[in-house]
Amino acid sequence: MYELLKLFFEICLFKKGPQDIPGSKGLLPLLIPAYASVSFLLLKLSTGWLNAAMQVLVEILLILGSTWIILFLARKPARYQQTASALMATDALISFFALPAMATLVGQGAGLAFIVIIMLMIWH
């Protein structure tokens, strides 16, 4: 587990790519709930639970669907599991780091939190 987290963090730092992720069909189904949980918590800070849940569902469908379409058009459908896993994992990781800053921004509107959010958005 630690090795996977380290790999995803290295992908976020552009040191590795999706091709370095094991081509396992069992990894993506584990990453989707992780992505959904972090995204839900992030969205729940500014909206109701139903709206947050619907947005997370649409996000997942858009990410998985657009990834499949792009790889199909590029004639690389075999890379789907790795690419989709990389997208889900890196987004969840960066969003996890954004949770404290977003909570501060929503709660008190601190200037430092705003700068952190902007920096994370650029990195993302």
User: Where in the sequence is the domain holding 46, given as residue range(s)?
Assistant: 26-123
Q: Give CA–CA dist 95/93, Å, rounded.
A: 5
Chain segment 2-61, per-residue pLDDT in tens: 888 899 999 988 899 888 988 788 999 999 999 999 999 988 988 899 999 999 999 999
Residue 72 lies in a domain: yes
Residue 15 lies in a domain: no
- Would you give the end-to-end CA distance of the chain in angstroms? 23
Q: Give CA–CA dist 97/58, Å, rounded.
A: 22
The pTM of the full predicted model, rounded to 2 decimals, is 0.82
Confidence at residue 58, expressed as pLDDT on a 0 to 100 scale: 96
Chain segment 62-106, per-residue pLDDT in tens: 999 999 999 999 999 999 999 999 999 999 998 898 888 777 766
Amino acid at 28: L
pLDDT at residue 124 greater than cutoff 80: no
Count of domains in the chain? 1
Amino acid at 45: L
Residue 112 lies in a domain: yes
CA distances from 83 to 21, 63, 87 (A): 8, 10, 6
